[in-house]
Amino acid sequence: MEYKFLVASQELERRQLQQKLEAKNEELQRLSTIATIDFLTQLANRRRFEEYLHIEWRRMTRSQQPLSLILVDVDFFKSYNDTYGHPMGDRCLIKIARAIKDVVQRPADLVARYGGEEFAVILSNTDILGAAHIAEKICFAVRKLAISHENSQISSYVTVSTGLATVIPTFNSSFQKIIVAADRALYQAKAAGRDRVCFQEQTENLEVKRIATLAKLFLSDKLFIREELWLSIQKSQQIREQNQQLIKQIQLGMQKNGQIMQKRRQIMQKI
């Protein structure tokens, strides 16, 4: 009888300890989630952004695929806060966060609040053309919200400026490289009049890197190296020409978009 009581008591104690352990694990999971989420917008926060960018940088380094980053800044947001108050400013940021999230649909991509009125979008395995398309869709989605901004210097509604960069990461390089490039592009978008997309492509010439590797492996075979070098030069020229054509297409698209926006503003002013 005493033995059965002891066994039952131990089983009860084991279950209680198990429940406490599960509760602790759930609490740790909750705290871990809170630590990576921005309270206001419910997007990933700056900490999670840097963690994920580091992971994707390493992954794209191994696969030698392009990684794109879009930085989004709300135009004249300080003026918006001064005009409508901080509670309205918070609501504005929440709406913009949702609009960006609706545009960026792929599970592997990340939307984060970068800080203040800035957002960031990480696009893995995405070239500059694909990233520019997403950036344009983000600008359009924010305009479509039609959030009034009477003290904006460029529109009657809230708009955003976006800067994007595309990089094929190399070994022993830092993900800070793409942040600097995207930030520089964002500065260009603001300087050019805001409410637009600017980009910088930092794609490395992979053919040159390939021939450097081959040189180490086949140093003794000079003829082989000479042939491979010639092929690499031809491929590099083709890649350069393709990139130039691609950039021209994007620039033409952006010019057309600017013309459409200018006509739209003229129509709005007449109304």
Q: Give me the active site residues, please.
A: 117
List Cα–Cα distances, 115 to 69, 140, 225, in angstroms.
Answer: 15, 22, 49
Report the C-alpha gap between 206 and 166 in whole angstroms.
Answer: 14
Report the C-alpha gap between 101 and 23 in whole angstroms.
Answer: 32
* Cβ atoms 90, 187 nearer than 8 A: no
> How many Å is the maximal CA-CA distance in the chain?
94
Report the C-alpha gap between 26 and 151 in whole angstroms.
Answer: 47
Closest CA to 152 of 98, 78, 210, 212: 78
* Cβ atoms 107, 37 nearer than 8 A: no
